[in-house]
Amino acid sequence: MKNVLNKEIKEVINTYPEVGRILDEYGIGCVPCSVGSCLLKDVVGIHNLDPQQEATLMYRIEKAIYPDRNVPKPVVDVNKKSEPKKITYSPPVKKLVDEHVLIKRLLALIPLVVDYVENSAKVDKDLVLKCVDFIRTYADKYHHMKEEDILFKYVDNNAEIIQIMFKDHDTGRGHIRQVVEGAEKGNKAQIKEHLLAYRDLLTQHIKKEDEILYPWIDRQLSTTQVGEMFRKCNEADASVGDELPRKYEKFIIGLEEKFLQEVTK
């Protein structure tokens, strides 16, 4: 079993598809992952399952891989209900989670923006470029840079989960370049394709960060590191000033007023 624990998850799932189905039951969605190079042992550890759940999961995985092996069934206290673990964040990580909220508000508006662009006689270039500006300045420069320059430095940058996050950021930047090109050319289909792709990517990306990556990093941080990270994030925020987050919150409120009112009309 130790041998399998050190294998990449994609390889394990390809060889034993049942493992993918079992992981899925526990909310561990490795099957659709495009990379899949996390090791099985890390995949299980990173999700911070209840000890009872983890013991049962490992038993089921081992039985799926070695059906003939006499694997001792874990003793599960049926009276002790496994409760979903409440996620708590350290203050600097909580700040990053809070920044996701504004980004998610834009993501929620993207289908409406896309509809508007599609149904307008001419592409509203100004609107599209303002959304791009929010994504490039607030989501990418203000938020993602704190992740890349500060948060991710506290864990092994070569860890697969971190590499996936970097890849997501790059893929997102690629989609936004395409959106800008579409806006310049007045190509509605190009804008639609890449704004929606960005929305799908970031929705999954933020979910992974809020529920898995950030709690995993938080569990590894010492008190001293939390204090350091808090200071570094505050310094990074101070370097751009208070006005920047306020400006982009105002932009989102304006966008919500424009599009959500149209929907309710």
* Residue 10 Cβ vs other proteins, minimum distance, rounded to whole Å: 36
Please answer whether residues 36 and 8 qualify as being in contact, where contact means their C-beta atoms are separated by less than 8 angstroms: yes
Query: Closest approach of Cβ 91 to other proteins, in Å?
Result: 4
Our CB check for other proteins shows the closer of 70 and 223 to be: 223
Nearer CB in complex with other proteins: 224/261: 224
How far apart, in whole angstroms, are the C-alpha atoms of residue 3 and residue 67? 16
CB atoms within 10 A of CB 212: 19
Q: Which is nearer to other proteins, 94 or 258 (CB)?
A: 94
Minimum distance from residue 42 beta carbon to other proteins (Å): 25
Is residue 110 within 8 Å of 198, Cβ to Cβ? yes
Rounded-to-integer distance, Cα 215 and Cα 151, Å: 12
Q: How far apart are CA 106 and CA 202, in angstroms?
A: 11
Nearer to other proteins, 153 or 167 (CB): 153
Euclidean distance between CA atoms 160 and 263, whole angstroms:
41
Rounded Cα gap, residues 152 and 213, in angstroms: 10
Closest to other proteins by CB, 65 or 150: 150
Q: How many CA atoms lie within 13 A of 38 on its CB side?
A: 22
Footprint of other proteins (CB under 8 A): 88-92, 94, 223-224, 226-228, 230-231, 234
Q: Measured from the CB of residue 229, what is the shortest distance to other proteins in angstroms?
A: 9
Instruction: For the CB of residue 151, give the shortest distance to other proteins in the complex, in Å.
Output: 14
